[in-house]
Chains A and B, each alone.
Chain A
Amino acid sequence: DAGVIQSPRHEVTEMGQEVTLRCKPISGHNSLFWYRQTMMRGLELLIYFNNNVPIDDSGMPEDRFSAKMPNASFSTLKIQPSEPRDSAVYFCASSLGAGNEQFFGPGTRLTVL
């Protein structure tokens, strides 16, 4: 298996632009997680899905952030409009059921100018 796939790996955009991050979880995994990592705030859970359904989005910073999972093999995290404080590395992770191991993708490094 190729592992969790994220795209793009790097994104540089200007303040006010829309940003869409993409994730393909490991085939067969039924839980998907979006995290944000910064030096100041560490690794934060933004939202997670179970069987394509959002279970907890309490970590989503504000209405500018939205996430979807239209099917078991694809999820997006969208920021509209983006702001410089959104600059971070965004990780997608997936896991199988009630297992204890999450598999992280390589991350998307987002820079908002």
Chain B
Amino acid sequence: GQSLEQPSEVTAVEGAIVQINCTYQTSGFYGLSWYQQHDGGAPTFLSYNALDGLEETGRFSSFLSRSDSYGYLLLQELQMKDSASYFCAYGSARQLTFGSGTQLTVLP
């Protein structure tokens, strides 16, 4: 079948580094994306990995290992505004299947 697994909740303090893991199972794979969603808001795109390795965008980095069907989102220098839900999703822009999301709480 097709599925993604990610932790439901993560808590960290301001200034820290946090890693949100995502494992997936799918018959066809076209890349792993990450989206951020604040309470009451819409999902917004953070990053996309089509190939193995690390992609860095400012304080956020995303990693993919296709052989392990595994990826993660790394958030550095956490800020209060980073408190949100983070979703991994596989597919391409033609079609995305989203994980259930990880609620990140950043404490002062």
Q: Which residues of A contact B (CB under 8 A)?
A: 31, 33, 42-45, 48, 50, 55-56, 91, 93, 95-107
Q: How far is the CB of A106 from chain B (nearest CB, A)?
A: 5
Whether the pair A100, B33 counts as a contact (CB closer than 8 A) is yes
Identify which of B33, B44, B45, B101 contacts A42 (C-beta below 8 A): B101
Query: B residues touching A (Cβ–Cβ < 8 Å)?
Result: 31, 33, 41-45, 48, 50, 87, 92-101
Q: Which partner residue on chain B sits nearest A107 by CB separation?
A: B42
Contact of B45 among A56, A101, A106 (CB under 8 A): A101
Q: Determine whether the beta carbon of A43 is less than 8 Å from that of B43.
A: yes
Across-interface contacts of B96 in A (CB, < 8 A): 33, 45, 102
CA A97 to CA B93, docked complex, whole Å: 8
Q: Which of A33, A42, A55, A106 has the most CB of B within 10 A?
A: A42
User: Which are the 5 A-B pairs with shortest beta-carbon distances?
Assistant: A104-B42, A100-B48, A95-B93, A101-B45, A43-B98
The answer to whether residues A104 and B44 also contact, given A31-B93, A98-B93 and a CB cut-off of 8 A, is: yes
Contacting residues, chain B, for A93 (C-beta < 8 A)? 43
> Can you show 14 pairs from A to B with CB atoms below 8 A apart?
A31-B94, A33-B95, A42-B98, A42-B101, A48-B95, A95-B93, A100-B31, A100-B33, A100-B93, A101-B48, A102-B45, A105-B42, A106-B41, A106-B42
